[in-house]
A and B are shown apart, each in its own frame.
Chain A
């Protein structure tokens, strides 16, 4: 039977008091040998029948799922004053990986009001979980992929079931500013190009399993390159910083300079996220939009 720690790269799997198994260690060596090895690993995992994937997601529940981030002052593309001020982010914890289909399936089992055939339409549109062939099971490969086709309401409900919440935009943006070595790589044009390259890839293909992109400097995976992610304050991000001046309170200024910091307007990858999320309503869902959860810091440091 496939055990999840083999899927799950180093720190996420580093369970105190439980040394990695031989197979885990092998995979970790493969993991560290670079991208080609990871591609091979992905192919290997895709090729075999991953029996017991749901049991594996149970195993994952025992792992430290959340990564501590210290917060602090942060230059956001959405300055709190609508102009240039720094965002103040309190210490928080963020899920190392996006929520998977397997995890969401277990949630739906215990919270039947979120089943595809039972959810109230005010909370989820008809695309909700549309990629699941059945309301009663998800296949093993799908179980390891990030869940998508989930509404904001469903994502929030899942996080609440985990004693958590959706991250705020600033929390998400701070964690996503890092590359593999730097906590803030945003000024590096090469890094921007790399992220932008992912957006340029055609959609429509199957999503990869979670945890296969390189870990970033915070220890968080898949912030770029896998799916887009809901944030708590997704709506209203594009509202002009001072719509009252326009005389029309309902003007939504898409890509308006009032709403977004002009200092960072070359960060197209981030701006695209904002534009995409702002175009959604809370019951809507799309095939490439998933989520991860966050929670307030419980007082311990890294």
Chain B
């Protein structure tokens, strides 16, 4: 065998090796961007949700879109309607394309009473755009865990009312908290700025 052909064989192997390495590297890179969820993402929590249409999905399935989330309960007489109207005011300030990229998810604190039917009625009463608004219920332990990752405090009272911190939480597509606002009624301008920034 000539030296030239030996070099040729070697270079062929090197080429194959390089190609394989590149494939492997490409594989790990795409794996990293597709699958690795940030440690501070609320989607690390795997709880089963059921929405106002009775559709079940796990919390991590909400990954992939900018969302404003909050916790509430349907029979709440004062604060929860205020939360919804504040969210609607924030949405009014957005252009239609911006609005189309924003989703709102409200988790109920009262899973025993707030069935899918109750949540559906609430969505209709408030004329919510149900293509983008999801009202979710889950079990009571999952509620406590959700409140834990969202930093929401609540306490159930004897008369089945809940005292809870009312807060709007802006999440990026990976479920990381970008901003929080406890200002109800007139939306907090800083929160609106954060929403606009997240949507561009």
Q: Tell whether A and B belong to one assembly.
A: yes
* Chain B contacts for A240, CB-based, 8 A: 163
Query: Taking the complex as formed, is A52 at the interface, i.e. its CB lies under 8 A from any CB of chain B?
Result: no
Please name all residues of chain A whose beta carbon is closer than 8 Å to the beta carbon of B133 when the two chains form the complex.
none
Q: Is the CB of B165 within 8 A of A252?
A: yes
Chain B residue contacts of A239, Cβ below 8 A: 153-155, 163-165
Is there an interface contact between B165 and A122, defined as CB atoms closer than 8 Å? no
Query: Please, how many angstroms separate the alpha-carbon atoms of A187 and B159 in the complex?
Result: 28
CB-based contact A282/B79 at 8 Å: no
Residue of A121, A232, A236 near B39 (CB, 8 A) is A121
- Give the residue of A123, A235, A243, A278 whose beta carbon is less than 8 angstroms from that of B147: A235
Contact between B144 and A233, CB atoms less than 8 A apart: yes
Contact A250 B167 (CB under 8 A): yes
Q: Could you mark each residue 83-126 of chain B with 1 if its beta carbon is under 8 Å from any beta carbon of chain A, else 0?
A: 00000000000000000000000000000000000000000000
Any A CB within 8 A of the CB of B52 = no
Bound Cα distance from A85 to B157, whole angstroms? 11
Q: List which A258-302 residues lie within 8 A (CB) of chain B.
A: 278, 281-283
> In the bound complex, do residue B148 and residue A282 qualify as a contact, i.e. CB atoms below 8 Å apart?
yes
Overall SS of chain B's interface: loop
Report how many residues on chain A are interfacial, defined by Cβ distance under 8 Å.
32
CA distance A69 to B104 in the complex (A): 44
State whether A123 touches B44 (Cβ < 8 A). Answer: yes
Q: When the two chains form their complex, are residues B148 and A281 in contact, meaning their CB atoms are under 8 A apart?
A: yes
B137-163 at interface with A (beta carbon < 8 Å): 141, 144-145, 147-149, 151-159, 163
* A80 CA to B158 CA, complexed, in Å: 5
Q: From A80, A119, A252, give the contact of B153 (CB < 8 A).
A: A252
B129: Cβ under 8 A from any A Cβ: no
Q: A20: CB under 8 A from chain B?
A: no
> Does B10 belong to the interface (CB within 8 Å)?
no
Cα separation A166 to B174 with both chains bound (whole Å): 30
